[in-house]
């Protein structure tokens, strides 16, 4: 299935604001990370500290992604 990914801040600088990626059906967030790293190896360190969201909910690495869901990669933030 094809997923549309939206990124923010430092991830956007590395991967672009949005991109599409082809993954297997029943893909998990962990598998998605591996797929992105296989295409763009320099993203590995950053992806390991990012949060992922599906639609508007933060999810963990074991979460399965369904077709037509919106995936967001959110880097760590700081501030006060």
Global confidence as pTM = 0.92
Helix (H) or strand (E) holding 51: strand 51-54
Task: Judge whether 17 lies within some domain.
Answer: yes
Q: Say how far apart CA 25 and CA 65 lie, in whole Å.
A: 8
Q: CATH number for the domain including 11?
A: 3.10.20.30
42-62 pLDDT, tens digit each: 999 999 999 999 999 999 999
Task: Judge whether 79 lies within some domain.
Answer: no
Query: Given a cut of 60, is residue 80 above it in pLDDT?
Result: no
Count how many residues are written for the chain: 80
Domain extent at residue 38: 2-74
Comparing C-alpha atoms, which of 27, 22, 20 is closest to residue 6? 20
Task: Judge whether 46 lies within some domain.
Answer: yes
pLDDT at 47: 96
Residue 25 vs residues 31, 34, 67: alpha-carbon distances, Å: 11, 15, 8
Overall average pLDDT of the 16-38 stretch: 96
In this prediction, residue 78 has a pLDDT band, given cuts at 50, 70 and 90, of low
């Amino acid at each position: 299935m094809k997923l549309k990914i939206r990124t923010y801040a430092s991830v956007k600088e590395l991967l672009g604001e949005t991109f599409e990626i082809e993954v297997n059906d029943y893909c998990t967030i962990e598998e998605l990370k591996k797929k992105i790293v296989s295409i763009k190896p320099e993203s590995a360190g950053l992806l390991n500290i990012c949060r992922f969201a599906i639609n508007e909910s933060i999810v963990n690495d074991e979460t399965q992604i369904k077709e037509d869901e919106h995936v967001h990669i959110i880097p760590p933030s700081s501030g006060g």
